[in-house]
């Protein structure tokens, strides 16, 4: 058996060298398709994280008018706390709101300096158990009679509320489109890779038809004849998979830190677990594409 | 060794290439299969190797019924049958030694077996001097000797040859035939399909004559015997 493995390997490598243009073509298409698979997996994981973090930040702010009766505010607060969908309610006073504003505007203090009175309203900040409940809770708040009493803009209740449902919906729509486009591209590239491997193996079989004839003649077993070709297809796609991993890895190491600097407010990095998961998926799909492509070619072109 | 009973072979809808052939060949025999081109000699040989299956009848080679044999067992049948062809079928990028060793490598023989058996068989066919030559550096007769060495290196009990001297001049052919004769003396059954009249007449071995797919003559110590 030890001789066989050495023999199969050298046969495959020799065949690769003899037919390097086609083999390289196969490697490159597999590389590109697996790169795309990896990139879309990684980006959907990252987008998922971003969505989750945005969802976590989904809270409802109820802006209060200046001089709202504390009893009414308290009643509103109690109604919110009593709701099972609400995790937590915090009161932000006008002063605290201004402080927070000053913090976010620390880069341009002149804006703050120009303020003569505090223009910011106080607010009740509502955290939810589940982000999907945003709309329902908003409706609940609007229906509460105390809301009109305390709202910053009783004439336009909608403007007295701020919530992030819109962003989440847009993100979800975006990821759905991304996923669909990704799947279509990946399927197309997978088919192209299969055709390429099929072709290289066909040519490899043709190039070695004399050897194959003699092997059949002297009684080499069917698997002995087939294995070098299966190995060749698998090696090609493994090579493509490793190149794709290398590319994704260098993006992860060299490009992502810069991206993170630019959009520091979003969690755009991949965890080690996700990276390992992606690597495994790439290598496995590489092996599957390679084996499938060469197996199809063997069935069609190699009669044993 | 070989037993053909009522064997017919038809390709497509044409007239049969072989028709109702009954042949028994014993272990250790030397048999010539003669006939014109298209008389069915090659079909006969290919049926022996189970390259083809007969349309009718049964073929038993080395105790195994080829018509009932599973496909995956065919390689193991072929390990017991050495084959020699008119066009030698040598690999041009391998030396004499490598061409012969290849036959053992691909059936999984160990390096040790290869290192002892290959030089031995090359001595038997008289090519120990040309061990590192490539096929295009050898004469036709020498190439055919390499191919015989390859067919015989695994010591098969049956050796088939399809027009082995078809590309060779008479003097060289004589050498090849005496080599077959020597191999036959080791106990190997030898079946040679040929239309080389001189060869058949000079050897005086058993002759099976085919014409239009039928056996028209089967005689011991026979001659080529066609009137043309």
**CB A241 within 8 Å of CB A21:** no
pLDDT 10s digits, A201-216: 888 888 888 889 999 8
- Could you tell me what percent of chain A has a pLDDT over 70? 92
**CB A178 within 8 Å of CB A43:** yes
pLDDT given at position A56 = 65
- Collapsing DSSP to helix, strand or coil, B175 comes out as helix
- H or E element that contains A279: helix A272-301
Q: How far is CA B14 from CA A275, B18, B42, B51, B91, in A?
A: 65, 11, 17, 19, 35
User: How many angstroms away from the CA of A18 is the closest CA of chain B?
Assistant: 13
pLDDT given at position B124 = 92
Is the pLDDT at A176 greater than 90? The verdict is no
**CB B93 within 8 Å of CB B77:** no
- CA B78 to CA A39: how far, in whole Å? 51
CA neighbor of A160 nearest in space, from A53, A280, A68, A282: A68
What is the residue extent of each domain of chain A? 2-54+168-301, 58-163
Query: Which among A4, A213, A214 has the least Cβ separation from residue B108?
Result: A4
pLDDT 10s digits, A98-119: 888 777 777 777 777 777 778 8
What's this model's pTM, rounded to 2 decimal places?
0.69
Residue B124 structure tokens: 């038997």
Mean pLDDT of the A57-86 span: 81
CA neighbor of B154 nearest in space, from A219, A225, A213: A219
- CA B44 to CA B210: how far, in whole Å? 10
Is B83 within 8 Å of A216 when comparing Cβ atoms?
no
**CB A23 within 8 Å of CB A200:** yes
- CA A42 to CA A245: how far, in whole Å? 12
Residue A256 structure tokens: 């992502």
Q: Hey, of A3, A4, A214, A219, which one would you mutate to test binding to chain B, going by the most B CBs within 10 A of its CB?
A: A219
User: How many angstroms away from the CA of A217 is the closest CA of chain B?
Assistant: 7
What torsion do the CA atoms of A168, A170, A171, A174 make, to the nearest 10 degrees? 160
- CA B42 to CA B107: how far, in whole Å? 25
Residues, chain A, total? 304
Task: Give chain A positions within 8 Å (CB) of B111.
Answer: 3
Mean pLDDT of the A129-150 span: 79
Q: Which is more confident, B177 or A66?
A: B177
CATH of A58-163, one of 1.10.10.10, 3.30.70.3040, 3.20.20.80, 3.10.129.10: 3.30.70.3040
pLDDT given at position B33 = 94
Residue A165 structure tokens: 């449902």
Tens of pLDDT along chain B (228 residues) come to 899 999 999 988 777 889 999 999 999 999 999 988 888 899 999 999 999 999 999 999 988 999 999 988 999 999 999 999 999 999 998 999 999 999 998 898 999 999 999 999 999 999 999 999 999 999 999 999 999 999 999 999 999 999 999 889 988 999 999 999 999 999 999 999 998 888 888 888 999 999 989 999 998 887 887 654
**Minimal-distance CA residue of chain B relative to A210:** B91
Q: What is the ipTM of this complex?
A: 0.85
- CA A120 to CA A97: how far, in whole Å? 6
Q: What is the tally of helices (H) and strands (E) in chain A?
A: 12, 4
Q: State the DSSP code for B167.
A: T
Chain B contact for A2, CB < 8 A?
A: no
């Amino acid at each position: 058996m030890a001789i066989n493995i050495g023999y199969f390997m050298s046969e495959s490598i020799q065949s690769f060298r003899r037919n390097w243009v086609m083999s390289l073509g196969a490697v490159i298409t597999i590389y590109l398709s697996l790169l795309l698979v990896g990139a879309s997996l990684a980006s959907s994981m990252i987008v998922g994280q971003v969505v989750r973090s945005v969802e976590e930040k989904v809270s409802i702010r109820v802006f209060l008018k200046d001089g709202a009766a504390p009893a009414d505010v308290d009643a509103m607060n109690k109604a919110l706390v009593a709701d099972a969908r609400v995790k937590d309610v915090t009161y932000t006073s006008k002063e605290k709101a201004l402080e927070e504003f000053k913090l976010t505007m620390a880069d341009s203090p002149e804006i703050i300096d120009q303020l003569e009175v505090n223009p910011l309203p106080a607010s009740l900040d509502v955290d939810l158990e589940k982000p999907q409940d945003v709309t329902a809770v908003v409706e609940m708040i609007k229906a509460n009679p105390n809301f009109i009493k305390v709202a910053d803009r009783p004439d336009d209740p909608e403007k007295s509320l701020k919530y992030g449902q819109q962003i989440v919906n847009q993100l979800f729509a975006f990821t759905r489109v991304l996923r669909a486009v990704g799947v279509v591209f990946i399927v197309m590239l997978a088919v192209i890779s299969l055709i390429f491997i099929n072709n290289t193996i066909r040519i490899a079989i043709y190039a070695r038809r004399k050897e194959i004839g003699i092997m059949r003649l002297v009684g080499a077993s069917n698997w002995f004849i087939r294995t070098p070709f299966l190995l060749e297809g698998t090696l090609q796609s493994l090579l493509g998979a490793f190149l794709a991993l290398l590319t994704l890895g260098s993006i992860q190491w060299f490009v992502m830190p810069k991206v993170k600097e630019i959009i520091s407010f979003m969690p755009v990095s991949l965890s080690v677990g996700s990276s390992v998961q992606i690597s495994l998926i790439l290598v496995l799909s590489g092996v599957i594409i390679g084996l499938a492509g060469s197996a199809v070619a063997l069935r069609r072109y190699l009669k044993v | 060794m070989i037993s053909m009973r009522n064997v017919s072979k038809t390709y497509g809808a044409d007239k049969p290439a072989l028709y109702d052939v009954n042949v028994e060949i014993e272990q250790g025999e030397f048999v010539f299969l003669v006939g014109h081109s298209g008389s069915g000699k090659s079909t006969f040989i290919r049926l022996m190797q189970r390259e083809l299956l007969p349309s009718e009848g049964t073929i038993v080679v080395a105790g195994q019924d080829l018509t009932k044999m599973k496909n995956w067992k065919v390689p193991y049948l072929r390990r017991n049958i050495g084959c020699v062809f008119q066009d030698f079928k040598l690999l041009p990028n391998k030396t004499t030694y490598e061409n012969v060793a290849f036959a053992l490598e691909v059936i999984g023989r160990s390096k040790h077996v290869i290192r002892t058996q290959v030089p031995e068989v090359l001595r038997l066919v008289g090519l120990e001097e040309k061990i590192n030559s490539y096929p295009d550096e050898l004469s036709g007769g020498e190439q055919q000797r390499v191919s015989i060495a390859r067919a015989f290196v695994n010591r098969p009990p049956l050796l088939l040859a399809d027009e082995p001297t078809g590309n060779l001049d008479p003097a060289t052919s004589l050498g090849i035939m005496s080599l077959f004769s020597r191999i036959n003396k080791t106990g190997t059954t030898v079946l040679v399909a040929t239309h080389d009249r001189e060869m058949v007449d000079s050897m005086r071995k058993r002759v099976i004559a085919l014409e239009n797919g039928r056996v028209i003559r089967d005689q011991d110590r026979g001659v080529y015997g066609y009137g043309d």
